[in-house]
Structure 1
Amino acid sequence: MSAPHSAGAGPEAPHREPPPEQIEAIRLRHPWRTVFAVVLAIIAALFIYDTAVNRPVYNWAEVGKYLFDVRILSGAGYALQLTVYSMVIAIVLGVAVAVMRQSPNPVVKAVAWLYLWLFRGTPVYVQLTFWGLIPTIYKSIELGIPFTEAVVSLNTRDLLSYFTLAVIGLALNEAAYMAEIVRAGLLSVDKGQDEAATALGLGWWHTMTRVILPQAMRVIIPPTGNEVISMLKTTSLVTAVPFTLDLYGRARDISAVTYQPVPMLIVASIWYLLVTSILMVGQYFLEKHFAKGVARRPDVMKPTVATEAIGVVTAEEAAQHPTYPSRGGESIVPPHERPGGGGA
């Protein structure tokens, strides 16, 4: 039998469970991962040492000699021009073909499908070779009324240079892939967005530029960046036109004189790697810009006071601690004697 409380003593303090002990998480060890990483590091070190010391065919002195050669720098500039011009034309034409693919007109849709079938189904090298033969196939371009004497006759060789033919060949091939990329981006936007814009009274142009495209760009940008990088490397195929002033063409011309193709291939590869690295950085920031607000979760609201089980208090407990009325009219006392809780 417990002893009675002495006169004037306060009510017995409520029983509290001791705080749980902190869990000490032990990290799971993966010894084979460490072994595999060490083996890879050793192989990489041996390869670098062998390349730098035991392979005179690389001729690193020759690489350094021609790395900033004027002809190589000029070739890199032509490669960038081919990439920019071809991608601009390909993006514009790809958007048009993507819209044609979604047209309700069966003829327009069939023309777009035929374009994609032709340019995606044949190798780009074959297409570039064909474009190089255009001046031979079509010796002149004549303008006038059909079945009558031509009003204007233009020599194809004078009108279309090999550089122009290379841009046309690259752009038309790339437009087929850009059309599918743009179409996938447009289809990724929920149909309700279009319906909501129409309900708000927005026209087609404002719906596309302010509602659909900003959301579709999140899907369009990553593969488009990959296509730009791929286009830069594809410019090495314009020798099929033939256009030989690009980066690879200039490196090949120099190696034909020095009889050392390997160092010149390394020089061209270094410049391709440099430019593609810059393009990858730009692609990263573009993706980050158009991904704003996507998959973002709101910050978790942290309680301002320590939480624990609460209950209805008696009149004696209410006299010792501040209370708050509940919906049922009963008094609730918050946690106390803990960080963030009420005072004792």
Structure 2
Amino acid sequence: MNVIERELTILLVENSADDASQIIKFLKEEIIKPIIHHAKTFDQARESLTRGFHYDVILLDVSLQDNTAGKQVSDLGQLANDIPVIVLCSGSDKEFTAKTLSPGISDCLRKSDLNGSYLTKSIAYNLEKKSIAHKLRDSEERYQSLFSFSPIPMWVFDVDTLKFLNVNEAAIRNYGYSREEFLNMTIKDIRPEEDIEMVESIVKANKKSGIFSWGEYRHIKKTGELIYVDIKSNLIEFEGNRARLVLSLDITDRVRYMQAIEEQNERLYEIAWSQSHVVRAPLARMMGLLNMLSLKKTGKKEPKEILELVMSSARELDDIVRDIVRKSEVIKNYKE
């Protein structure tokens, strides 16, 4: 099933042929009618934009040879005007990308995390955000309508008091609080106690810099359920207050899936360790005892006693094998 069921024109700025091929494959799997223009360099991308080609979204690789400076990323954001620019980065590019993010840059995705669904959901999310931004500029009345009925949980909070100033229906449904309850709370009330100091620090830093803010955090619903969310926010003026507009995307399933993989890896490591260490002990004893019998060098021990020792080691080895099988079954059932 296609995530985006409409035609999209996409500018892909990527100098790696292999990475470009994989990204194009992802897009074709998830978008019903993708029209993809591939630029291998920043200069080619700039030429396409200055010639007036219309694009719905731009995918930008920050590791381009001619795109090593933050100024060029910023320039592309300005050339793109209001076209969503999604930066694709490696782990080593993450700090650089965070510094270059601005209102012209919509999102940043690690290449190592990419798959068709993740990429196109980010595109859909940022296209929706772009649509919302356009209508916010049209009129306060239209903004309120879009804000209230967006399928993505959203809210506005005061950057000085941290109090909620407005929430939409999706936030009310997702977190379980009524509108009145939200408006009598601060953003600290939906955070785990141990995360509050970090939240206060981030809000304080962003209030000074005024930058676009994004990241993954933990929230708590009214029921006490802990969820993981991808937060995007920016400074706005709301009813005379300096505030932040926040979009909260629930990524709990994705995080728990990754945690499940890590747990499986731990179990597999235990099995591998057993095979390479625990199994060797009884096996070595059995081989030594059988060698003694074959060479008839049993010393003071009777052959029967030697055989009993062999059986004891065999039973120990059998228990180890059974434990490995049991752990393998646990992993199999966990995956199912």
* TM above 0.5: no
Higher relative contact order at CA 8 Å, sep ≥6: structure 1 or structure 2?
1
Tell me which protein shows more helix as a share of its residues: 1
TM-score (normalizing by structure 1): 0.28
Tell me which protein shows more strand as a share of its residues: 2
Point out the structure with max Rg over C-alpha. 1
